A = this chain, B = another copy of it.
């Protein structure tokens, strides 16, 4: 059984890993002042996910008494939100907080540490990354990009989007103009959906004017701010293309290697804390937001079953095609898929039944 690589620590455990090296008994007062920048793929108004970046920086600053000082920039302030991979790879910036699915058009491998349709929920994702070999596989992949990657947050299962009109079956999806990007967009295209990419600010007017029929965004807390419900009151669930969406810190590999080991440790600790913490923050905020949305007349529906089934088939077709085309994808997918299947089997027992207790609640 593999243990989370970066958690190897003292004594025998430390000796068992070559990755982190041997703890150097450095005198902490001799540690250098390090100033980094961290660009986020997210704007400030996504305070939960963007807040994760500020959270990491603040924690690192505090624990190192200000010697390791990371300044955080929201998307677009110095680097566009979708250019984080390039900027970190080239060393233009030391680090970036992002969701790897923004790079899915370069390689579908970027889905494994963010979100894949009918993939892992947040706990399964953590299990795979920390104990199931996922982090090792992804770190190997990121060496191609000169990046050291650290999981640092999650959104949980996202909602399936806002629709102007109710949909009742797969037939209603034909030609439907929907704002949905990346892997989800590709999957939806195979279902006959006219998938569109729109920036956040464009979505509301497009829905209002009927330029699009539907739009997916994140979940109740983040979606509420845009007021989508005023023009598209049908709120579908789940976002089966993002059953969880892991957030990652990209660190330029040269910068990572230059860090004193103590700073590496603190950064990884802060990211682990941010990982549990961002999910808890979302889980705190989403229930209240959903209550307000329901009070505002939002109609919540599950996706019709034939849509889910068609999407499921389309997703696994894409996985099979990608495995034939891309060796990197195939390597990880062939390890990930049985892991995912076994996880689904287990989560279908005790954890699933939990949700059956609500009606009593």
Which residue numbers of A lie inside 8 Å of B, CB to CB? Answer: 1, 4, 7, 9-11, 13-14, 23-31, 55, 57-59, 61-63, 65-66, 118, 121-124, 126-132, 156-160, 219-220, 237-240, 243, 262, 265-266, 269-270, 272-273, 275-277, 279-281, 283-288, 290-291, 300, 302, 308-309, 312, 340-355, 357-358, 360-361
**What are 5 inter-chain pairs, A to B, with CB distance below 8 A?**
A13-B58, A65-B262, A237-B350, A286-B346, A352-B358
Q: Is the interface of A mostly helix, strand, loop or mixed?
A: helix
Contact of A342 among B31, B270, B280, B291 (CB under 8 A): B291
With A266-B63, A269-B59 known as contacts, the answer to whether A276 contacts B126 (CB < 8 A) is yes
Inter-subunit contact A58/B287 (CB<8 Å): no
In the complex, the count of this chain's copies comes to 2
> How distant is A155 from chain B, measured CB to nearest CB, in Å?
10
Contact of A27 among B28, B276, B277, B308 (CB under 8 A): B28
Inter-subunit contact A7/B280 (CB<8 Å): no
Instruction: Report chain B residues within 8 Å CB of A29.
Output: 27-30
Instruction: Report chain B residues within 8 Å CB of A351.
Output: 121, 156-157, 238, 355
Inter-subunit contact B355/A352 (CB<8 Å): yes
Inter-subunit contact B343/A347 (CB<8 Å): no
> How distant is A316 from chain B, measured CB to nearest CB, in Å?
9
Contact of A237 among B1, B57, B349 (CB under 8 A): B349
Contact of A61 among B9, B156, B157, B360 (CB under 8 A): B9
Please measure, in the bound complex, the distance between the C-alpha atom of A65 and the C-alpha atom of B31, giving whole angstroms. Answer: 13
Instruction: Report chain B residues within 8 Å CB of A276.
Output: 126, 130, 272, 275-276
